[in-house]
Chain A
């Protein structure tokens, strides 16, 4: 069965610093992986997704993620954090049927000035 593990429930960075949010996956088939962002009291917004076309995936708001099969990882990065990046970030993997998303527990990103 597919699963994702997000390392670190809370990450704090300074404005302008590198953002690194970690996600490791477990899948018996080639995975399809997603990163979503959730702002307080709002729904989830897709940041980016990996569907095997390219290992480095660029998303919205300057975020990108690299799929590393050897490390079973799909970490999310942004070179320079902005205050508006403060939110909850969820990594997810598509289930084998391709219908449901299985989410990690989420990582709260705090950005200080």
Chain B
């Protein structure tokens, strides 16, 4: 089945220690997104790639970076995690149809704990 895969499902890191979260997709979608979802809150978009074009949300901290080496993979790098970065990180993909009708398909998420 075509899907969005996130690894690992649970990640524990130490305060200030860089961490990388991984997302891969078999849907061959053009667009890949990273959302941050804190406990009991709505998902918040951090950034997205439309093909190779990177689009950062204005309020995404510089501590968060992303890489998309090819169509299938996208990575979220947190350079110096703080306690406030503990959250569920959701990866999503969409075909890339302009105009608002695109459906986003979500992975299962990676729950990040910062000690």
Residues of A at the B interface (CB closer than 8 Å) are: 31-32, 34, 36, 41-46, 49, 51, 90, 94-96, 98-101, 103-106
Contact = CB atoms under 8 A, between A and B. Distances in A.
B4 A101 contact: no
Contacts of B88: 41
11 contacts: A31-B100, A32-B100, A42-B109, A43-B4, A43-B6, A43-B106, A43-B107, A43-B108, A46-B104, A94-B100, A94-B101
Contacts of A41: 88, 108-109, 111
Contact of B109 (A34, A43, A99, A106): A43
A50 B44 CA distance: 21
Interface residues of B, number: 31
Contacts of A51: 100-101
Contacts of B55: 99
A80 to B, nearest CB: 26
Contacts of B101: 32, 49, 51, 94, 98
B99 interface: yes
Given A43-B108, A44-B90, A103-B42, A98 B4 contact: no
Nearest to A95: B100
B100 A103 contact: no
Interface in B83-101: 88, 90, 92, 97-101
B45 A101 contact: yes
A32 B101 CA distance: 6
A32 B100 CA distance: 6
A101 to B, nearest CB: 6
B42 A104 contact: yes
B80 interface: no
Contacts of A101: 43, 45, 104
